[in-house]
Structure 1
Amino acid sequence: MRIVRLANFVTVHTGGLRTALRQLGRGYQAAGHEAVLVIPGRRYSDKMTKQGRVITLPSAPLPRTGGYRVLAGRRELVKLLDSLEPDRIEVSDRTTLRWTGNWARQRGVRSMMVSHESLAGLLGVWGMPKRDALADRFNRRTAEAFDTIVCTTSFAAAEFRRLDVPNLVEVPLGVDLKLFHPSRMDVAVRSRYARPDELLMVYCSRLSAAKRPELAVDTVASLRNGKVPAVLVMAGDGTRRTALAYRAARLPVRFAGHISDRSAVAALLASADVALSPGPVETFGLAALEAMACGTPVVVNEQSALPEVVGGGGIAAAGTAEAFADAVSRLMERPRVERRGAAREQAEQYGWPKAVAGFLQAHEAVPAPAPAPALIRPAVPARPYLPSPRRTTPAREAGADEAGAARYA
């Protein structure tokens, strides 16, 4: 089965979404399916990777978004989808790519939309009035356009559930339990950022308004005012970097930037005492889960989905510096072995194989059967390569012309 995945807002700095796409693609390939990922980028490319085929279409960056790009050429994308002839499509953008649900329906292809964020929550961050009514109208249209809506937590599913959406499925994402492990703790990494008597905290996410990184900085200030020798490492980059540097000018805050080496990220997380995840609209929080897999407890915003993911591996707090500082102090009062063991135990509930199986079930796809043993035949003279005939259906033929692209709005 060929599963074509479409995703926007993917850059070298989008850790959570990029990680999820990579792990799901690898899982689909391992199950015997053909995974194809289409994403925007600086230039065109088409290559085979461990997660399957990855096609990058040239797209201009969106202003003031930290380098985000979108697949804006609808006609070009229609041509590409027609040529790929997917059995399933999986879309990770319910704004600019929602039209692909109608494209799939015209072609008789089953479609899935993956909701990676709370739309009502994002509208609130952006200060939009009547956000719930606007989100309801948008979400209802999305649910009507796709065969299946997948949400990764009950928090993310709530805005669809209140609409009584019948095609809603909850499938948690996963974490790499081998890469992110307590054994990654590195004394050299820890000593790079903190003295033995200091409390090392880490924030690992984009530096954007939706993530509320300023709350992490303010938590350091609150702890220092309470005579707690806390220091903070901010691993990530984004549009808030300059403003945060000014905010942390007199505080022990180190900006590590985006860390592309996943092993280095694991070492940093495992070497910290506490991880902070202050975003109020997080719908899964992969960075928090990776920290717990490393044995590092987390403090999360109680308004987000993370309390249901974190469980006993951390503490949920109100979105204030004082509440976060108090939660950090309470975590550190627990015996080290106990708090780190609880974090790892909670993370072990979220392996990627389980997540892949859930997504394939939502696709109504089962592991492909193993190929039959090849028969040994006498050698025959080589013949010129001829492309296989294109599969066609009445629906495909009816919409194959370029002008038909406008119908999928």
Structure 2
Amino acid sequence: MRIVQLANMYHVRSGGLRTVVDTLGRGYAAAGHDRILIVPGAKRSVAEDEHGTVITVPGTPVTGGYRMILRAEKVLETLAALNPDSIEVSDKATLAGAGPWARERGVRAVLFSHERLGEMVANRTGAQSESLQKAVLRWTRRVVAGFDEVVATSAFGERELALAGARTIRRVPLGVDLEVFRPAGGAGSARSDFVEVTRPDVVRLVYAGRLSNEKNPQATIETVRVLRCWGVDARLDVYGSGPQCGALARRSKGLPVVFHGHVARRADLAERLTGADLVLAPSACETFGLSALEALACGVAVVAAAGSGAAELVSQTSPPGSGNARHDRWATPGAAPPGAGIAVTPTGTGLAAGVLELLTYPACVRAAAARTRASQFPWSASVERMLAIHQGALLAADVADAA
């Protein structure tokens, strides 16, 4: 089977998006399928390796070194030459036209939704108008109507798609490499200080993610400020880059906050995460929370924004479906064990209160709970579910469920 993945804003520093696209693609290739990836670049190129073929199409430079394919014509010409069996589009903007193109030719078309477009537009433009949100919803309705299948990673991610009239929504949780992201000393082991049962003298916090408005990184700075006002010696390490870096550095002046920049190697990031007491995931519009899952795999509990996809990872109740999503056998694993994390209002005060609440659990309990929760999300399960969708294997199950 020839599967073509299409992704915009794909960059060496694009973090979660690139991790998802690359990991799924490697899984497709390992399963014996012909995997081709089309992404924006400075010029057209074709490269092949053991994971398939990567084709770059000239893209327009945008913020932070990213590029976007603004004209889909060249992409559609490339698709026509490739003769795919199924396409997977990780973009609701300029590449959305690939869905109707595929449908007209009898090619399976799958939309992988990585974000809630309404929240993303509002955060990046600073506009909260009702008319803008209605326009985004109309656009999303047009986009989802052009695909055979629409994939969301969480109940939170499903809601916008359901509101836009998506007929079928497949929930496919993301995964984590449990060998790369693991507690210090190896999987199942514990750090020497995991036996402590009281709050540590210095509370080591970590934020790992893009430094942009929609990720709400400013709340992590305020968390440190609030904790120190409350008499807690809290320190914060920030791993990531983005347009808010300068503003955040100014905001954190006088506080024990260290900006380490983007960490390219996943193993290096994993090592940094294991040194934390807790990880902060403050984005209220996060549709899954891949960085939060990676922290859990390292045995580090997470303070997440309530209502987000990351909150579902640490919740002790199973997230509900959207109502029109058929995913009974493919849904997110149920509840997180106590101590794996907590969902709070994503403000400095809210996150600080969440930090203190989680620290009432002994470190060994937090570590075990976090690792147990992460172990429910292997990448192999995500690949298996996506391949079933590409092959249409879920259709028979839907018919059986409806009978």
Alignment of 1:166-315 (within 5 A): 166-183=167-184, 197-311=201-315, 312=336, 313-315=340-342
Bigger drift between 33-42 and 158-167 goes to 158-167
Q: Quick one: distance in 2 between partners of 1:240 and 1:174?
A: 28
- TM-score w.r.t. the length of structure 1 is 0.83
Alignment-mate amino acid for residue 148 of structure 1: E
Alignment of 1:119-158 (within 5 A): 119-125=117-123, 126=125, 127-130=127-130, 131-158=132-159
Task: Please report how far the alpha carbon of residue 50 of structure 1 lies from its aligned counterpart in structure 2 after TM superposition.
Answer: 4.3
Task: Please report how far the alpha carbon of residue 244 of structure 1 lies from its aligned counterpart in structure 2 after TM superposition.
Answer: 0.6
Task: Find the counterpart in structure 1 of residue 67 from structure 2.
Answer: 69
Task: Find the counterpart in structure 1 of residue 347 from structure 2.
Answer: 320
Aligned partner of residue 260 in structure 2, secondary structure: strand
Aligned partner of residue 91 in structure 1, secondary structure: strand
The answer to whether the Cα contact below 8 Å between 2:87 and 2:102 also exists between their aligned partners in 1 is yes
Structure 1 residues 258-312: Cα deviation after superposition (integer angstroms, max 9, x where no partner):
0101111000111111101111100001000000000000101103121112233
The answer to whether the Cα contact below 8 Å between 1:184 and 1:270 also exists between their aligned partners in 2 is no
Bigger drift between 249-258 and 175-184 goes to 175-184
The answer to whether the Cα contact below 8 Å between 1:143 and 1:167 also exists between their aligned partners in 2 is no
Task: Please report how far the alpha carbon of residue 75 of structure 1 lies from its aligned counterpart in structure 2 after TM superposition.
Answer: 2.8
User: Are 1:352 and 2:379 an aligned pair?
Assistant: yes
Task: Find the counterpart in structure 1 of residue 78 from structure 2.
Answer: 80
Q: Quick one: distance in 2 between partners of 1:41 and 1:3?
A: 20
Alignment-mate amino acid for residue 232 of structure 1: L
Alignment-mate amino acid for residue 136 of structure 2: A
Q: Quick one: distance in 2 between partners of 1:348 and 1:120?
A: 32
Structure 1 residues 324-377: Cα deviation after superposition (integer angstroms, max 9, x where no partner):
0111111112111101111111111110010001111111267xxxxxxxxxxx
Task: Please report how far the alpha carbon of residue 320 of structure 1 lies from its aligned counterpart in structure 2 after TM superposition.
Answer: 1.2
Task: Please report how far the alpha carbon of residue 162 of structure 1 lies from its aligned counterpart in structure 2 after TM superposition.
Answer: 3.2
The answer to whether the Cα contact below 8 Å between 1:23 and 1:51 also exists between their aligned partners in 2 is no
Aligned partner of residue 304 in structure 2, secondary structure: strand
Task: Find the counterpart in structure 1 of residue 89 from structure 2.
Answer: 91
Q: Which residue among 360, 364, 381 is the counterpart of 2:391?
A: 364
Q: Quick one: distance in 2 between partners of 1:123 and 1:38?
A: 24
The answer to whether the Cα contact below 8 Å between 1:59 and 1:70 also exists between their aligned partners in 2 is yes
Q: Quick one: distance in 2 between partners of 1:332 and 1:50?
A: 45
Aligned residues: 356
Bigger drift between 139-148 and 210-219 goes to 139-148
The answer to whether the Cα contact below 8 Å between 2:152 and 2:172 also exists between their aligned partners in 1 is yes
Task: Find the counterpart in structure 2 of residue 17 from structure 1.
Answer: 17
Task: Find the counterpart in structure 1 of residue 55 from structure 2.
Answer: 55
User: Are 1:333 and 2:360 an aligned pair?
Assistant: yes
Alignment-mate amino acid for residue 170 of structure 1: R
Structure 1 residues 32-89: Cα deviation after superposition (integer angstroms, max 9, x where no partner):
1111111112233322234321112232211xx3222112343322221111111111
Q: Quick one: distance in 1 between partners of 2:82 and 2:350?
A: 51
**Change in 2 beyond 3 A, CA 1:230/1:168:** same
The answer to whether the Cα contact below 8 Å between 1:289 and 1:310 also exists between their aligned partners in 2 is no
Task: Find the counterpart in structure 2 of residue 389 from structure 1.
Answer: none
Q: Which residue among 101, 105, 123 is the counterpart of 2:103?
A: 105
The answer to whether the Cα contact below 8 Å between 2:72 and 2:97 also exists between their aligned partners in 1 is no
The answer to whether the Cα contact below 8 Å between 1:266 and 1:294 also exists between their aligned partners in 2 is yes
Alignment-mate amino acid for residue 56 of structure 1: T
Q: Quick one: distance in 2 between partners of 1:349 and 1:99?
A: 35
Q: Which runs of 5+ in 1 are unaligned?
A: 188-195, 367-409
- TM-score w.r.t. the length of structure 2 is 0.85
User: Are 1:161 and 2:171 an aligned pair?
Assistant: no
Q: Quick one: distance in 1 between partners of 2:50 and 2:308?
A: 32
Aligned partner of residue 10 in structure 1, secondary structure: coil
Structure 1 residues 370-398: Cα deviation after superposition (integer angstroms, max 9, x where no partner):
xxxxxxxxxxxxxxxxxxxxxxxxxxxxx
Q: Quick one: distance in 1 between partners of 2:50 and 2:181?
A: 19
The answer to whether the Cα contact below 8 Å between 1:28 and 1:34 also exists between their aligned partners in 2 is yes
Task: Please report how far the alpha carbon of residue 132 of structure 1 lies from its aligned counterpart in structure 2 after TM superposition.
Answer: 4.5
The answer to whether the Cα contact below 8 Å between 1:171 and 1:359 also exists between their aligned partners in 2 is yes
Q: Quick one: distance in 1 between partners of 2:147 and 2:310?
A: 27
Q: Quick one: distance in 2 between partners of 1:141 and 1:58?
A: 26
Task: Please report how far the alpha carbon of residue 167 of structure 1 lies from its aligned counterpart in structure 2 after TM superposition.
Answer: 2.6
Q: Quick one: distance in 2 between partners of 1:162 and 1:76?
A: 32
Q: Which runs of 5+ in 2 are unaligned?
A: 192-199, 316-335, 394-403
The answer to whether the Cα contact below 8 Å between 1:215 and 1:321 also exists between their aligned partners in 2 is yes
Q: Quick one: distance in 1 between partners of 2:381 and 2:348?
A: 36
**Change in 2 beyond 3 A, CA 1:41/1:232:** same
**Structure 1 segments of 4+ aligned residues over 6 angstroms from their partners:** none
Task: Please report how far the alpha carbon of residue 128 of structure 1 lies from its aligned counterpart in structure 2 after TM superposition.
Answer: 3.5
Decide which structure has the larger Cα Rg and report it: 1
Aligned partner of residue 292 in structure 1, secondary structure: helix
Q: Quick one: distance in 2 between partners of 1:177 and 1:304?
A: 23
Aligned partner of residue 259 in structure 1, secondary structure: coil
Q: Quick one: distance in 1 between partners of 2:303 and 2:102?
A: 41
The answer to whether the Cα contact below 8 Å between 1:148 and 1:167 also exists between their aligned partners in 2 is yes
Q: What's the % identity of the aligned pairs?
A: 42
